[in-house]
Chains A and B, each alone.
Chain A
Amino acid sequence: MTSTPFRPRDWSSHPSFVDPRADGYRSSALRGPTKPLIPIRQSLSELTGPVYGHDSVGELDGDLTRNGRRNGEPLGERIVVTGRVLDENGRPQPNTLIEIWQANAAGRYLHKVDQHDAPIDPNFFGGGRCITDSEGRYRFYSIKPGAYPWGNHPNAWRPNHIHFSLFGPAFATRLVTQMYFPGDPLLALDPIFTGIPEAARDRLVADFSIDVTEQDFALGYVFDIVLRGRGTTPMED
C-alpha cells in the first residue's frame, strides 16, 4: 500500500516536556521525559487511528447549557464556540471527534479532586463532545468558564479556558489543548499558556465574533484548530 506520512510535530509550536524556566510550569519538572525522542518511520500503526462517526455524539452532548440541567438553567454567560478543524495543508478535517471539558462560571470543576471553594452549579456538568461536519466545522454551546486558583506559585490563577481533545485522521494527529478567551489579563501570567513558544501562543486564543453571537442568547467565539498534515512524499511499503 501507499500512504503519505504526516509532517512531524512542530516543536516550535508545542510546549517542551520540561518547562526550563525557574518560574515555569512546576509539575513538568518531574514528569516530562528528559531523553531525546527517538524518531521512527510512520507505519500503519501511526497512520491509522480510532474512527468515530456522528453516532458517537448524543443529542445534547454539544450543548453544555442543557446536558447538565437538573432543576433550571446553569448560571453564567452563555457562549457559542465554533470553528474549523484543518490540517497544515489547509484541508478540512471532517468527522473528527472533539471532546471538551471546562470549569463552571464560578471557576469550579465538577471533578471530585477540585478543592477550590467556589460553588458547584447543580445545572452545569461541564463536559461534552461534538464532531466536525464535511467542511471540518464544529459548534457547541456552553457557559463561559471562570478563572480559578491553583498551586503552581503564590497567587497563581488559571485564565478562563476550555479543554479540547481531538483525534484527527490518525494516532499521529492526536491533540489535546486548551482554548483561551481574548483580552484575558491572566494569560501573560499563566505558565501553562506562556510555556508555548511565543509566536504560537495566539493560536490558542479564540476570537470574539458578533456574527457568531446569537441575538438574545449567547456570545460567539471562533476557534480554528490546525492538526498535522500529510507531507508531500508518499511512503512505499
Chain B
Amino acid sequence: MALKQTPSQTVGPFFAYGLTPEQYGYDLTSVADGAVRDDDTAGTHIRIEGRVLDGRGDVVSDAMIEIWQADAQGRYAHPDDPRGSNAGFTGFGRQGTGTDLQSRFRFDTVKPGVTEDGSAPHVSLIVFARGLPSHAYTRIYFADEAAANATDPVLSQVPAERRETLIAQRTDTSGVPTYRFDIHLQGDNETVFFDV
C-alpha cells in the first residue's frame, strides 16, 4: 500500500448550492435529487421518507442524505454488475433536509430487487451533516419483507435488539407505498451504522 487515504471533513452547513442546488433553488444543475425514478421506470413505485435526529431528539435540518440501490430486478447501474443495468435508472439519489417544513428527506424510487442470493431487498444510505466530521453508512430494509430480512447476512450481524433501526415502516400516507425511515444519529435508538 503506497499511499495514505485523504482525510474526511464535514460537509458543513453550506453544501446546498454545490451539492443540491436545484432542490434549494440555486442556479446550477444538480447531478442527482430526490427523483430517483421517472414515471416509466419498471418496478413497484415507492417513496422513502424520513428525518435525521440528533442526540437530543431534535431534527437536523442541514443534513444531506444519499441513497444507492439496485433496480427492481436487483441490478446495479454499474459496470461491475455483470447482469447489466436497467437503462435510465441510475439508482442514485441525493436530498438535503433543509427544504421541507418538517426537515424530511424524500426519495421517489422503486422497490429494489434482490441483489444476491440470500440477501433481502435494501437501499444503501450515507448521512452527511454539519457536525459529522466523517460520513456514516447505513442500510434501509423494508418492514414488509420480514421473511427475507430474517435470512439477510448483513442484518444477521446486527444485534437483534438493534435491527429495528434499519427497518423502514410502511405508512402509505401519500397514495404511493411509502416507507418511513428516521435516522437517529445518537441515543437509545441510535441507528446502526456500518464500517463498510
A contact set with B: CB distance below 8 Å: 1, 3, 7-10, 13-17, 19, 25, 27-35, 37-52, 56, 58, 61, 67, 86-90, 97, 99-101, 103, 109-114, 125-129, 163, 165, 170-172, 174-178, 192-193, 195-197, 200-201, 203-204, 225-229, 237
Could you tell me the distance in whole angstroms from the C-beta of A132 to the nearest C-beta in chain B? Answer: 14
**Set of chain A residues within 8 Å of B14, measured between Cβ atoms:** 101, 103, 109, 111, 113-114, 163
Main secondary structure of the interface of A (DSSP, over half): loop
Asked if B79 is an interface residue, CB under 8 A from chain A, the answer is: yes
- Which residue of B is nearest A25, CB measured? B133
Count chain B CB atoms within 10 A of each CB in A38, A46, A192 and give the residue with the most.
Answer: A38
In the bound complex, CA of A163 to CA of B15 (Å) = 8
Q: Is the CB of A48 within 8 A of B76?
A: yes
Q: Is the CB of B193 within 8 A of A38?
A: yes
Q: Is the CB of B6 within 8 A of A125?
A: no
**Set of chain B residues within 8 Å of A16, measured between Cβ atoms:** 133-134
Known: A25-B133, A31-B132. A15 touches B9 (CB 8 A): yes
Could you tell me the distance in whole angstroms from the C-beta of A230 to the nearest C-beta in chain B? Answer: 11
Asked if B77 is an interface residue, CB under 8 A from chain A, the answer is: yes
- Which residue of A is nearest B124, CB measured? A45
In the bound complex, CA of A83 to CA of B119 (Å) = 40
In the bound complex, CA of A30 to CA of B19 (Å) = 24
Q: Of the candidates B92, B135, B154, which one forms a contact with A176 in the assembled complex, judged by CB atoms under 8 Å apart?
A: B135
**Set of chain A residues within 8 Å of B76, measured between Cβ atoms:** 44-45, 48
Known: A28-B131, A30-B56. A101 touches B18 (CB 8 A): yes
Q: Is the CB of B54 within 8 A of A41?
A: no
Count chain A CB atoms within 10 A of each CB in B62, B76, B122, B196 and give the residue with the most.
Answer: B196
Extra inter-chain contacts (12) besides given A15-B9, A112-B24, A175-B6, CB under 8 Å: A30-B186, A33-B136, A35-B190, A37-B195, A40-B157, A48-B81, A51-B78, A58-B29, A127-B26, A175-B8, A176-B9, A203-B7
- Which residue of A is nearest B183, CB measured? A33
Q: Is the CB of A110 within 8 A of B9?
A: no
Q: Is the CB of B6 within 8 A of A113?
A: no
Q: Is the CB of B133 within 8 A of A13?
A: no
Q: Is the CB of A17 within 8 A of B136?
A: yes
- Which residue of B is nearest A42, CB measured? B196
Shortest beta-carbon contacts, A-B, top 10: A101-B18, A27-B131, A48-B78, A15-B133, A31-B131, A50-B92, A37-B195, A127-B18, A30-B55, A111-B14
- Chain B 130-145, CB-CB to A under 8 Å as 1, else 0, gives 1111111101000000
Q: Is the CB of B126 within 8 A of A51?
A: no
Q: Of the candidates A29, A33, A90, A203, which one forms a contact with B190 in the assembled complex, judged by CB atoms under 8 Å apart?
A: A33
- Which residue of A is nearest B154, CB measured? A40
Q: Is the CB of A17 within 8 A of B132?
A: yes
Could you tell me the distance in whole angstroms from the C-beta of A159 to the nearest C-beta in chain B? Answer: 12
Asked if B177 is an interface residue, CB under 8 A from chain A, the answer is: no
Q: Is the CB of B193 within 8 A of A37?
A: yes
In the bound complex, CA of A88 to CA of B54 (Å) = 33
Q: Is the CB of A192 within 8 A of B133?
A: yes
Q: Of the candidates B3, B7, B80, B126, which one forms a contact with A14 in the assembled complex, judged by CB atoms under 8 Å apart?
A: B7
Count chain A CB atoms within 10 A of each CB in B10, B16, B56, B115 and give the residue with the most.
Answer: B10
Asked if B34 is an interface residue, CB under 8 A from chain A, the answer is: no
Known: A30-B186, A88-B4, A176-B135. A45 touches B115 (CB 8 A): yes
In the bound complex, CA of A237 to CA of B137 (Å) = 22
15 example contacts (A-B, Cβ-Cβ < 8 A) are as follows A17-B133, A30-B131, A30-B185, A31-B129, A32-B131, A32-B186, A33-B190, A34-B190, A42-B196, A88-B5, A99-B18, A127-B21, A127-B26, A165-B18, A200-B7
Asked if B73 is an interface residue, CB under 8 A from chain A, the answer is: no
- Which residue of B is nearest A197, CB measured? B7
Q: Is the CB of A204 within 8 A of B186?
A: no
Q: Is the CB of B133 within 8 A of A19?
A: yes
- Which residue of B is nearest A13, CB measured? B5
